[in-house]
Amino acid sequence: MKSDKCMVGLLVLLMVMGWGAVQAAAADQEVVVFAAASTTNAIADIGELYAAKGAGPIKTSFASSSTLAKQIASGAPADVYLSANKKWMDFLEKKNAVDKATRFDLLGNRIVLIAPLKSSIDKVKVNNALDLAALLGSDGRLSMGDPDHVPAGMYGKKAMEKLGLWNQVQGRLAPMKDVRAALVLVERGEAPLGQVYATDAAISKKVRVVGMFPTASHPPIVYPVAAVAGGKANAAAAFLDFLKSAEAKAVFAKYGFEVR
């Protein structure tokens, strides 16, 4: 009887030691996060918090959601994918390139119209009466994420089509590789107006918001996140859990995201 109790105790001890070893191994694993460009500042801060807790190092890659999704589909070594819209997450899910069971909606955002800080353009109401062409001037262009594949640009195009503004600007675009590039063009004064996320405008001291696109003018802006299939599952799961924490939510809120 005593021998049996000893054996059970030994098994429990081994199980505990084994689980501790798994946790330690997960903490030592680098988590590779592919995230939409608009989340750059927030994810960088969250990555620092995560690493400071001894949970493991974070390596990030920021670009347009489409670029990152295509890289993952081609075999790029990522553990977590954070998209600025559902389309590109759906794209990867259909290819079985993400773990569907780990997917959840993390954030929301708004689309805004921005101008350089010293622009003479005043606040405008973004509706079907807005004369965007006049605001752009004789040769100005509207800076925005490429509407063919960048989520911010896709939302912006939908909104302008809904409001009847697209015909005014479709031949006068400066389509950029991602939303941060669209922001920079306006910051430099190389474009009189830009269409970006509210969170992008909030981090810049060189632009100001001159108008807000009505939320009803485009599909809801949703940022889904998931573990990448074939990646480091334990490390990805730990980081995804941290994204749901109060600490991470506070960082997202600080940068103006709607936290879901």
* Terminal-to-terminal C-alpha distance of the chain: 54
Q: What is the DSSP string of 188-249?
A: TTSSSEEEEEHHHHHT-SSEEEEEE--GGGS---EEEEEEBTTS-HHHHHHHHHHHTSHHHH
| pLDDT for residue 28 | 65
Whole-number percent of the chain with pLDDT over 70: 89
The pLDDT tens digits of the residues spanning 26-79 come to 456 899 999 999 999 999 999 999 999 998 899 999 999 999 999 999 999 999
Residues 115 and 202 in one domain: yes
| pLDDT for residue 27 | 58
For residue 12, tell me if it sits in a domain. Answer: no
Residues 84 and 212 in one domain: no
Residues 186 and 233 in one domain: no
For residue 41, tell me if it sits in a domain. Answer: yes
The pLDDT tens digits of the residues spanning 203-246 come to 999 999 999 999 999 999 999 999 999 999 999 999 999 999 99
CATH of the domain at 93: 3.40.190.10
Between 53-57, 146-150, 165-169, 204-208, the lowest mean confidence (pLDDT) is in 53-57
pTM of the model: 0.83
Whole-number percent of the chain with pLDDT over 90: 87
pLDDT band at 260 (very low <50, low <70, confident <90, very high): confident
Q: Supply the range of the domain harboring residue 181.
A: 111-217
